Structure 1
Amino acid sequence: MKKILSTLVIALLFSCQNNAQVNAKQQAVIDAEPIEVPLKNGKAKAYFASGCFWCVEAVFESVKGVDESISGYAGGHTKNPTYESNSYGRIKDHAEAVEIIYDPNVVSFETLVDVYFASQNPTQLNGQGPDKGYQYRSIIFYQNNTQKKIIEEKKAALAKKIKATIAAEVYPFQKFWVGEDYHQNYERLHPNQSYITNVSAPRLNRFKIEMPEVLKGNSH
């Protein structure tokens, strides 16, 4: 019995140490100075996490001024994350995220933040809809103090409006890791896949009702 107890204590000690290391690494991401992505050919980039990236990608690609939405990973500390390594949410690491390439002369960062909040359940912690876990948490990434102020003011206004705590975290942008090829444009390429018909498409349609004024003319 003593031998078993000793083994359990040692295992627990190592487990605590490992969790502490992971938490420290993640805290360093949260406390880091933001990295600003320069304009390229007049286009800007913004980064959001809000549940499954298939859903979020489709929402933002329906918005006027958005050229492209790319699925990937952000908000964690592991280099070169993959879907397999990140999908179980066993450690506090990256979230499924999207990189939005947009024309700031057509759509502002402020509007993109409005799109973000209008296209989700803002009070759901660590997930959206049926997708639950740390890898599905909601995060808005800021690249400078101006963006941070916009995010925090809109988050506070929404909390006051609905009289509830808003789950979205606010992180300094560090790096976006592009996801695997088979995740890109998933909703458009697989319209009859069961997850798309039951989760992604209904979420997109709810957003269209919420903000019809920002939609592209050919939005599907």
Structure 2
Amino acid sequence: MKNYILLVAFIAMVSCKGNTKSQQLDTGKVIQNTKETKNETTQDLSAYETAYFASGCFWCVEAIFESVKGVKEVVSGYSGGSEKNPSYEDVSYGRTRHAEAVEVYYDPEVISYFALVQVFFGSHDPTTVNRQGPDKGAQYRSIAFYKNEKEKKTIQDYITLLVSEDVYGDDEIVTQVEPFEKFWPAEDYHQDFEKRNPNHSYIKAVSVPRLNRFKANFKDYLKEDLEH
């Protein structure tokens, strides 16, 4: 019991917000992207569809969607607010209405939008208000963005199914279903953060366990090199 309490206390101290801010002062701990950043990539993504979700720290969410077959690229960023050119510091400290979000580039011939919605709901807790794990605040709220009425219906129908199947018991699904307006890519060092910073305390304590839980429950949706 004592060890469990210590573990819970440790995770509570480690968040996507606070720990990164301090480590930005030490580039030896956080690997900075250089010329390989997603924002500067020259790959042509015009043939792919896009989907937008927010479900807590974007380091975690990016890693989850990048493990899904049919997904070509995932970009961490900000969406859901009206402020232009938001910065990580402003978003993470709740100075905007934006949430940490991801932009998912996917091949609809391989993975459907419905499947991505399943991935979204199946990889986080949609019943917690303005919180995901140790990360608290509206910037970590659950949002499923839709670009058209078909996507909106897909999201709403799936929520109805989750409720009818009593997946979350008495807990209400608080995910916001919002029209997509604008996505702002996050600063370069946030892209592929989990992959580039495997020894970061938050990655080890929160992000990797969350990814592993997803992989265990969604084996059929994983890319071939991640199936085992």
Residues 90, 175 of structure 1: alpha-carbon distance in 2 compared, 3 angstrom cutoff: closer
Residue in 1 that maps onto 2:122: 118
Q: Structure 1 regions of 5+ residues with no counterpart?
A: 1-39
Cα distance between partner residues in 2 of 1:148 and 1:88: 30
Residue in 1 that maps onto 2:190: 183
Q: CA deviation at 1:115?
A: 0.2
Q: CA deviation at 1:126?
A: 0.7
Q: Which runs of 4+ in 1 moved over 3 A?
A: none
SS at match of 2:178: strand
Q: Which moved more, 1:73-82 or 1:150-159?
A: 150-159
Q: CA deviation at 1:192?
A: 1.1
Cα distance between partner residues in 1 of 2:196 and 2:174: 30
* Residue among 179, 203, 206 paired with 2:210: 203
CA deviations over 1:51-72 (Å, ceiling 9, x no partner): 0000000000000000111000
Cα distance between partner residues in 2 of 1:119 and 1:140: 13
* Residue among 151, 156, 160 paired with 1:156: 160
Using the size of structure 2 for normalisation, the TM-score is 0.77
Cα distance between partner residues in 2 of 1:90 and 1:41: 33
SS at match of 1:78: coil
Cα distance between partner residues in 2 of 1:55 and 1:152: 24
- 2:189 aligned partner, one-letter code: Y
Cα distance between partner residues in 2 of 1:159 and 1:50: 19
Q: Structure 2 regions of 5+ residues with no counterpart?
A: 1-44
Cα distance between partner residues in 2 of 1:148 and 1:45: 14
CA deviations over 1:127-175 (Å, ceiling 9, x no partner): 2100110000010000000000000011121123223311210000001
How well do the aligned residues superpose, as a CA RMSD in angstroms?
1.5
Cα distance between partner residues in 1 of 2:125 and 2:91: 22
Q: CA deviation at 1:41?
A: 3.8
Q: CA deviation at 1:90?
A: 4.6
Residue in 2 that maps onto 1:46: 51
* Residue among 82, 96, 105 paired with 2:87: 82
The question of 1:136 aligning with 2:140 is answered: yes
Residue in 2 that maps onto 1:24: none
Cα distance between partner residues in 1 of 2:126 and 2:214: 13
Q: CA deviation at 1:195?
A: 0.3
Residue in 2 that maps onto 1:174: 181
Q: Where is the helix percentage greater, Structure 1 or Structure 2?
A: 1
Cα distance between partner residues in 2 of 1:82 and 1:219: 33
Cα distance between partner residues in 1 of 2:46 and 2:134: 38
Residue in 1 that maps onto 2:105: 101
Name the count of aligned residue pairs.
Answer: 181
Q: CA deviation at 1:209?
A: 1.1
Residue in 2 that maps onto 1:57: 62
Cα distance between partner residues in 1 of 2:126 and 2:63: 18
SS at match of 1:218: helix
Residue in 2 that maps onto 1:22: none
CA deviations over 1:166-202 (Å, ceiling 9, x no partner): 1210000001000000000000111111100000000
* Residue among 200, 203, 213 paired with 1:193: 200
**Seq. identity, %:** 56
SS at match of 2:103: strand
Using the size of structure 1 for normalisation, the TM-score is 0.79
